[in-house]
Amino acid sequence: MSELVTAPFDLLVIGSGAAGMSVALGLLAQRPTARVGVLSKTDLSEGSTKYAQGGIAAVLDATDSIEAHIRDTLIAGGGLCYEPAVRAVVEGAPAAIRWLIANGVMFDREDGDLHLTREGGHSHRRIVHSADATGLAVQTSLESKLRASGALLFENHNAVDLIREKLPQGRQGRCVGAYALDRRDGRVHRFPARSVLLASGGASKVYLYSSNPDGSTGDGMAMAWRAGCRVANLEFSQFHPTCLYHPRAKSFLVTEAVRGEGGRLLRPDGTRFMDEYDPRGELAPRDIVARAIDDVMKRLGCECVYLDISHRPAEFITHHFPTVHAEALKFGFDMTREPLPVVPAAHYTCGGVMTDLRGHTDVDNLYAVGEVACTGLHGANRMASNSLLECLVIGSAAARDIAEKLDAIPAPPPLAPWDETWVTDSDEEVVVAHNWDELRRFMWDYVGIVRSTKRLERARHRVKLLLNEIGDYYGSFRVTSDLLELRNLAMVADLIIRSALARRESRGLHYTIDYPTLDTVAPPQNTILVPKTFAARREG
């Protein structure tokens, strides 16, 4: 289908999760004749949104307040949240929930009202959910709307790089499209566009153990960096504290709502330990819980800890957590009768491409929304169930901005075809597989939950070697999906390591044994990395 692309898109969306679909649908609602294209690396449904279990935070109860949600988010963010972003997202939450309901998302109700649960870091019950498969409900409903919307959908297309307009004297201008690999025929095609949205998700597959689907390889962050965009706060990688521990479970996530509904974390001997690490116990924010579990495992030499909610009635567990219960049963664990073995795993990238509250990046006509972006909402640590919310609220703002500006954006110039003149097919695919494995292992060992300067420097040395090797390989052979993902992962790994080395304190998700306390002398600062190609300044 991509060979038929001749007319430019008004909006090219790279990614098909909650962020990408909300912007595409939002633009089409305002401009029904807009030409919208959506690139999806695999099937539309295979992004991280589908796997989000917990829910979406919103103030919908009279005993709760906007100010309380803001306060909880600021506390979780460890002093680095951008307060206007927090306020904008929190205030936009009720409207976002109404929009989802209008688009067919069925949230759990109790006596006719939305059922609200509670998760770590929240002072009130404010999490709307669809049992323990909220992301699946959101993805399914929005995908159905998108398929019927008239947008052109390009599944199994892996974005390669963004295209900027060439200006006099070697300068680069606005974003005018992207190259993408059709994974079915192995060809790279041009996708011209007046505006481009990065909604490609995070980079947690840079770690050996992750709760994310295989596509979370930092593609949008790497492409934006190569295109000249700044990135911020990439040292803050969130590790979900409770993923099912089993060799075949592939880090299946056990939703934080299990702890929110009374689940207890236990040592192998059955004793609780979270109260020894934080007065909030199991309801402490994720970074504290993850570090506590990591500490218990290292001190005791155990392979996992246990999460126990079997003291609650069996019907309560199966009603509230049907997905977790059914998945655990596949591996021989009945959570209505026994505790589940759990370990931490990389879960969410809190930093990303710098944007304002309308999704603007440093490059004109290039937007970024969702986990790929850094608006300042999360600061040094994302609070549970604020992520889908950010996709929806910032996505709505980006859609309005694109709709308002569309008529003033000229059509993109003709794009140069992808050049494969000097490349050949690789006869050494093992190189890609080996480098992929090496990268994820040293990132887990040296840039994980607990860090040190020595470990980070060791990782920086290794990633430099990998980047050089991957660069030579990329320049010599035809691109494949695995090679593109490896190239992007290595670039994002380097950015994560550089960011972690720059932060000489422990704050939020970044904990280093060389600087174990907060820097209380200087005011908190964001870690901002600037590419050599950076030439623009954001406004707003």
- Return the domain boundaries, the chain: 9-235+350-408, 241-346, 429-523
Residues 6+ away with beta carbon under 8 Å from 162: 175, 177, 178, 196, 223, 224, 226, 227, 363, 366
Amino acid at 429: E
Please say whether the beta carbons of 368 and 355 come within 8 A: yes
- Domain 9-235+350-408: CATH class, spelled out: alpha beta
DSSP H or E segment with residue 240: strand 237-244
CATH topology of domain 241-346: Flavocytochrome C3; Chain A, domain 1 (3.90.700)
Closest C-alpha to 320, from 307, 332, 309 = 309
pLDDT of residue 1: 42
pLDDT of residue 428: 67
**429-523: CATH number:** 1.20.58.100
Instruction: Work out the percent of the chain whose per-residue pLDDT is above 70.
Output: 97
CA angle, 250 then 348 then 15, to 5°? 90
Cα 449 from Cα 431, distance rounded (Å): 28
Enzyme catalytic residues:
286
pLDDT in tens, 39-81: 999 998 888 888 887 899 999 999 999 999 999 999 999 999 9
pLDDT in tens, 275-330: 999 999 999 888 889 999 988 988 898 989 999 999 999 999 999 999 999 999 99
Residues 6+ away with beta carbon under 8 Å from 213: 46, 47, 48, 50, 51
pLDDT of residue 427: 63
Average pLDDT, the chain: 93
Amino acid at 336: T
CB contact burial 128-155 (16+ within 10 A = b; e otherwise): bbbbbbbbbbbbbbbbebbeebebbbbb
Closest C-alpha to 386, from 103, 13, 18 = 18
Residues 6+ away with beta carbon under 8 Å from 313: none
pLDDT of residue 363: 97
Neighbours of 436 (CB within 10 A): 20
* 457 three-state secondary structure: helix
Tokens of 247: 């060799």
pLDDT of residue 483: 92
pLDDT of residue 539: 39
pLDDT in tens, 404-452: 999 999 999 999 999 877 777 766 677 888 898 999 999 988 999 999 9
pLDDT of residue 472: 87
Residues 6+ away with beta carbon under 8 Å from 362: 228, 229, 230, 354, 534, 536, 537, 538
DSSP states along 121-156? T-SS--EE-STT-HHHHHHHHHHHHHHTTT-EEETT
pLDDT of residue 538: 43
Cα 59 from Cα 65, distance rounded (Å): 6
pLDDT of residue 211: 86
* 10 three-state secondary structure: strand
Helices 387-405 and 18-30: crossing angle in degrees, nearest 10, is: 30
Residue with tokens 């992962």: 489
pLDDT of residue 540: 37
Please say whether the beta carbons of 18 and 223 come within 8 A: no
Given a cut of 70, whether residue 481 has pLDDT beyond it is: yes
Model confidence at 208, pLDDT cuts 50, 70, 90, reads: confident
The stretches of 148-275 forming alpha helices (DSSP H) are 219-227, 257-260
Neighbours of 332 (CB within 10 A): 8
Cα 163 to Cα 178, 363, 426, 464: the distances in Å are 5, 11, 26, 26
The stretches of 253-383 forming alpha helices (DSSP H) are 257-260, 286-300, 314-320, 322-330
Examine domains 9-235+350-408 and 429-523 and report if their fold is the same: no
Please say whether the beta carbons of 146 and 21 come within 8 A: yes
pLDDT of residue 5: 64
Cα 522 from Cα 508, distance rounded (Å): 16
Closest C-alpha to 90, from 508, 377, 396, 475 = 377
State the pTM of this model. 0.90
Given a cut of 80, whether residue 537 has pLDDT beyond it is: no
Residue with tokens 């080395």: 501
Cα 437 from Cα 207, distance rounded (Å): 10
Given a cut of 50, whether residue 474 has pLDDT beyond it is: yes
pLDDT of residue 535: 64
DSSP H or E segment with residue 66: helix 66-76
DSSP 346: E
Choice between 170 and 129, residue whose per-residue pLDDT is larger: 129
Closest C-alpha to 418, from 179, 249, 213 = 179
Amino acid at 135: G
Closest C-alpha to 290, from 254, 250, 245, 239 = 239
Instruction: Work out the percent of the chain whose per-residue pLDDT is above 90.
Output: 79
pLDDT in tens, 345-367: 999 999 999 999 999 999 999 99
Tokens of 51: 């796997």
CA atoms within 13 A on the CB side of 360: 15
